[in-house]
Amino acid sequence: MNKQINIEIKSEIDPLETVILHTPGSEVENMNPENAERALYSDILNLSVARKEYLQFSEVLSRFAKTLEISDLFKEVLELPVAREVLIGSISNESENKRLTRRLEMLNPMDLSITLIEGLSKCNDTLTDFLRKGRFSLKPLHNFFFTRDSAVVYGNDILISKMASKVRARESSIMDVIFNYHPMFQEQTITVEKDTGSSDNIRFEGGDIIIAREDILIIGNGLRTSTQGIDFIIDEVKSHGEKRYILVQELPSEPESFIHLDMVFTFLDTDKCMVFEPLILKSNKYHTVLITVDNGSVSKIEYVSNIPAGLNKLGMDMQAVFCGGEKDEWVQEREQWHSGANFFSLAPGKVMGYGRNTYTMEEMNRKGFEIIKAKDIIENKISVENIEKFVIALEGDELARGGGGARCMTMPVSRKTLT
């Protein structure tokens, strides 16, 4: 097992040091049209194509930071009896199925780690199993390659997400066990159950949580993150006793491409952000709220006109770059649908996103970002060391159909703090 990692993230764009990934496997293929909607997918992915695109994405990331695979961390942590017992116990409590518990207890660490991600087929040795619809006693985690959602590092804290859908609850349980028991990590997690008792109203996911600055959080409020979930996060912020600001952006419940804040807003540089203009900047019914936390309590809650205006008020001047370009709202909507606003920062002014969103890429190029093809980095055809600002264009025609982009597929645990 590797040496300990110092968990710390104080800004979305500080230079990336360590990131957790999950290469999509059989859990993605264990899907048909009937369960695709339950799995929160808009379409069924071709695993062989998606894996090829994902491996390009992860290889590029490995050129800039240390990458950790969930499958490796999970297998290693399940070799520890206490971690294994805790996780199987949490799954058993959810399912209330003793036969399922016995089947899991019989598996070795490797097989258990695979099973808990890829799913466990029904035995069909009882009438109940035989008549029950579906193929699985334990459903596959179809969405787990979107590692962003299940846990969030803010400062030195690790928030374990309270997922909106029960389909994804096991993802959070796995991340909780990894962070609490793997020797590589030493910080204890913060969870809803540990701190407040279980509540169906409290929900939040990592795609809705963006760290603008050490003292500024931006959180989306929509189908995946409730006001009660944001209040839970605010309570954690208050416990530190320092002055902090939380910008809250209301999100539409449809279309499904608006599922998280990072599908309409992400950071590109210290002074630039990517926005889906119709929602973020144009007049509409979705409010932006600025909350000030000072000395352990909420001192002020007020409306602001939009996220960039709120950041400007807090001393962060932001130039908006438009997803889909500035001319045609129809094009903006098309590219936003395929994660055109979802960029992941490697360092200030150095980001990655899907190359298929050509109008967005052209707009970034006009704003000073050099466009670099991912394969050119992998094949060592180009060096980025002396390029001040760039965007790495990923091949993502298949991955984009899963409903997420480069930021969705990353769970950063450490970034180098810039002074």
At 40, the pLDDT band (50, 70, 90 cuts) reads very low
Query: Considering the domain boundaries, does residue 10 fall inside one?
Result: no
At 194, the pLDDT band (50, 70, 90 cuts) reads low
Closest by CA position to 120, among listed 267, 253, 343, 106: 106
Query: Considering the domain boundaries, does residue 270 fall inside one?
Result: yes
Flag whether pLDDT at 107 surpasses 80.
Answer: yes
Query: Considering the domain boundaries, does residue 3 fall inside one?
Result: no
pLDDT of residue 90: 83
Instruction: Identify residue 366 by its one-letter amino acid code.
Output: R
At 418, the pLDDT band (50, 70, 90 cuts) reads confident
- The count of domains in the chain is 1
In CATH, what number is assigned to the domain containing residue 384?
A: 3.75.10.10
Average pLDDT, the chain: 91
CA–CA separation, 317 vs 322, rounded Å? 16
DSSP state of 145: T
The whole-number average pLDDT for the span 94-105 is 78
Query: Considering the domain boundaries, does residue 2 fall inside one?
Result: no
Query: Considering the domain boundaries, does residue 7 fall inside one?
Result: no
Residue-wise pLDDT for 275-306, tens only, equals: 999 999 998 999 999 999 999 999 999 999 99
Query: Considering the domain boundaries, does residue 389 fall inside one?
Result: yes
The whole-number average pLDDT for the span 193-211 is 82
Range of the domain at 91: 16-415
Closest by CA position to 335, among listed 349, 316, 353, 320: 353
Query: Considering the domain boundaries, does residue 8 fall inside one?
Result: no
Residue-wise pLDDT for 314-336, tens only, equals: 999 999 999 999 989 999 999 99
Flag whether pLDDT at 41 surpasses 70.
Answer: no
DSSP state of 408: T
